Amino acid sequence: RLRGKILFKFFSSTTPPFQVKVSNKLFNAENNSDISDHLNFLYMITLIHKPEVIMELGTRGGESTRVFHHLAHKYNLQGYSVDLVAQPGWLANSTNWKHFESDDISFGNNLSKAGKFPTGETFSGIDLLFIDTSHEYEHTKEELKTYWPLVKPGGLMIFHDTNLTNKSSRRLDGTVNRGWDNQRGVTRAIEEFFDCSIEENSLYVEEIASHKSIFLNVPWCNGLLVLRKG
């Protein structure tokens, strides 16, 4: 079974044992946010994966959206985002991105039934889905139930905040990061859905679902889990 693991036990299990400069200037994102350490990685994995359809659930200020939108604009991809609130102002005039102000569960169910987006485009599946919403257990379970069937085989489902804690930790550049304790909400939902166990304080890859799918777990900056659908 394919498995690699590195354990970090320095300041805390959520703190990397080194300090580096982090720059997110390529896509004009902040360098010190609750997701800043992951943005360059998200950029490269999206570039390598070459998705035709990108969807983001949860945008808030649009830090991760800046990454996906930059690639969508540069390579003429189509991106969509769903949130309970309106899109960030800088996204309003985009020709490669559409934002829907909606509950993501209702949106996904309607997308599955109708086979098209509210704006009329045909829906044929998601190549890359990024989830950064409530981080709560019950909600994440519903998101998995709703959206996992919509992700294409070979597609990616990426979760932020898989290692939330109310303890102080440090970002890659040494600045302090503070989260909140969601009782392992995102991680527990993933474990239950795929009948697997996740060590959220470790950096490793793991095969799941009878070795058909594989995930990468990154412990710092509130955690990131990248899941490839088999």
110 or 211, greater pLDDT: 110
- Separation between Cα atoms, residue 197 and residue 125, nearest integer Å: 28
Structure confidence at residue 137 (pLDDT): 96
Residues 82-111: pLDDT tens digits? 999 999 999 999 999 999 999 999 999 999
Cross-strand pairs, 122: 116
Q: Which residues contact 92 (CB under 8 A, 6 or more apart)?
A: none
Structure confidence at residue 168 (pLDDT): 73
At the top level of CATH, the class of 3-14+29-228 is alpha beta
Residues 8-48: pLDDT tens digits? 433 445 666 678 899 999 999 999 888 999 999 999 999 99
Give, to the nearest 10 degrees, the angle between helix 137-147 and helix 185-194.
Answer: 40
Specify whether the CB–CB gap between 81 and 54 falls below 8 A: no
Structure confidence at residue 29 (pLDDT): 94
Paired sense of beta strands 176-177 and 169-170, if any: antiparallel
Domain boundaries, the chain: 3-14+29-228
Residues 153-209: pLDDT tens digits? 999 999 999 998 777 777 887 777 777 788 899 999 999 999 999 999 999 999 998
Structure confidence at residue 213 (pLDDT): 96
Q: What is the pTM of this model?
A: 0.90
Structure confidence at residue 10 (pLDDT): 37
110: its two tokens? 């309607």
Residues 173-189: pLDDT tens digits? 777 777 778 889 999 99
